[in-house]
Structure 1
Amino acid sequence: MSHTGMDTHGGGAGPDSGTATAGRSPSSSAEKTAREKSGTLWTVTAHIVALLVGSSVLAVVWTFAQLGWVAGPAVVVAISVVTYYSSALLADCYRDPDHLGGAVHGEYIDAVRSYLGPKSVAFCGIIQYSVLWAAMVGYTITSSASMCAVQSVNRFHRKWVGNDVGGGTSGVTYTVVFGAFQLLLSQLPSLENVAWLSVIAVATSFGYSSICLGLCAARWASHGDVRGTLAGAGAAVEDSWSEKVFNVLLAVGNIAISYIYAPVLFEIQDTLKTPPSESSTMKKASLYGLAMSAVFYLLLGISGYAAFGDDAPTNILTGAAFHEPFWLVDIANVCVVVHFLGAYQVIAQPVFARLEACVGGRWPESKFVTASYELRLLRRAPVAPAAVITMSPVKIVLRAAVIVATTLVAALMPFFNAVLSFIAALGFWPLAVYLPVRMHIARVKVRRGDARWWALQGASMALLVVAVGMGVASVRDMARRLKEAAPFKTVD
Structure 2
Amino acid sequence: MAQLGWIAGIAIMIAFACISIYTYNLIADCYRYPHPVTGKRNYTYMQAVGAYLGGTMHVLCGLVLYVKLAGVTVGYTITTSTSLVAIKKAICFHYKGHEADCKFSNNPYMMAFGIVQIFLSLIPNFHKLTWLSTIAAITSFGYAFIGSGLSLAIVIQGKGEPTSISGIKIGPGLSAEDKMWNVFSAMGNIALASSFATVVYDIMDTLKSHPPENKQMKKANLLGITAMTILFLLCGGLGYAAFGDHTPGNILTGFGFYEPFWLVALGNVCIVIHIVGAYQLMAQPLFRVIEMGANIVWPHSTFINKEYSTKLGSVTFRFNLFRLIWRTVFVIVATIIAMAMPFFNEFLALLGAIGFWPLIVFFPIQMHIAQSHITRVSLKWCVLQLLSFVCFLVSVAAAVGSIHGIAKNINKYKIFQYKQ
TM-score, normalized by the shorter chain, greater than 0.5:
yes
Of 110, 126, 130, the match for 2:47: 110
Matched, 1:395 2:323: yes
In the other structure, the counterpart of 1:300 is 235
In the other structure, the counterpart of 1:428 is 356
Specify the SS of the correspondent of 1:189: coil
Distance in 2, Cα, partners of 1:181 & 1:89:
37
TM-score (norm 2): 0.94
1:164-313 aligned within 5 A: 170-190=105-125, 193-223=128-158, 227-235=162-170, 240-313=175-248
Specify the SS of the correspondent of 2:118: helix
What's the CA shift for 1:191?
Answer: 6.4
In the other structure, the counterpart of 1:80 is 17
Identity %: 39
Query: Which amino acid is 1:273 matched to?
Result: K
Contact 1:188 1:194 in 2 (8 A): no
RMSD of the TM alignment (CA)? 2.4
Query: Which amino acid is 1:103 matched to?
Result: K
Superposed CA offset, 1:425-475 (max 9, x none): 111001111111111111111110111100100010011111111111111
Contact 1:151 1:168 in 2 (8 A): no
Query: Which amino acid is 2:367 matched to?
Result: M
Contact 2:77 2:113 in 1 (8 A): yes
Distance in 2, Cα, partners of 1:147 & 1:254:
21
Change (3 A) 1:117 1:491: farther
Distance in 2, Cα, partners of 1:126 & 1:286:
25
Matched, 1:487 2:415: yes
Contact 2:89 2:102 in 1 (8 A): no
What's the CA shift for 1:222?
Answer: 1.8
Superposed CA offset, 1:141-169 (max 9, x none): 0000000111112111121299x8x8875
Change (3 A) 1:323 1:167: closer
Q: How many residues align?
A: 420
Contact 1:226 1:307 in 2 (8 A): yes
What's the CA shift for 1:187?
Answer: 2.5
Query: Which amino acid is 1:132 matched to?
Result: L
Matched, 1:352 2:280: no
Change (3 A) 1:188 1:447: farther
Matched, 1:455 2:392: no
Change (3 A) 1:194 1:487: farther
Specify the SS of the correspondent of 1:390: strand
In the other structure, the counterpart of 1:368 is 303
Q: Structure 2, unaligned stretches of length 5 or more?
A: none
Change (3 A) 1:239 1:175: closer
Distance in 2, Cα, partners of 1:478 & 1:192:
32
Distance in 1, Cα, partners of 2:69 & 2:127:
18
Specify the SS of the correspondent of 1:272: coil
Superposed CA offset, 1:171-196 (max 9, x none): 11100111111112223433652321
In the other structure, the counterpart of 1:418 is 346
What's the CA shift for 1:236?
Answer: 6.6
Contact 1:220 1:304 in 2 (8 A): no
In the other structure, the counterpart of 1:471 is 399
In the other structure, the counterpart of 1:146 is 83
TM-score (norm 1): 0.81
Contact 1:368 1:394 in 2 (8 A): yes
Of 238, 249, 268, the match for 1:333: 268
Contact 2:104 2:419 in 1 (8 A): no
Distance in 2, Cα, partners of 1:185 & 1:77:
36
Specify the SS of the correspondent of 1:260: coil
Contact 1:356 1:395 in 2 (8 A): yes
Distance in 2, Cα, partners of 1:375 & 1:160:
52
Query: Which amino acid is 1:92 matched to?
Result: D
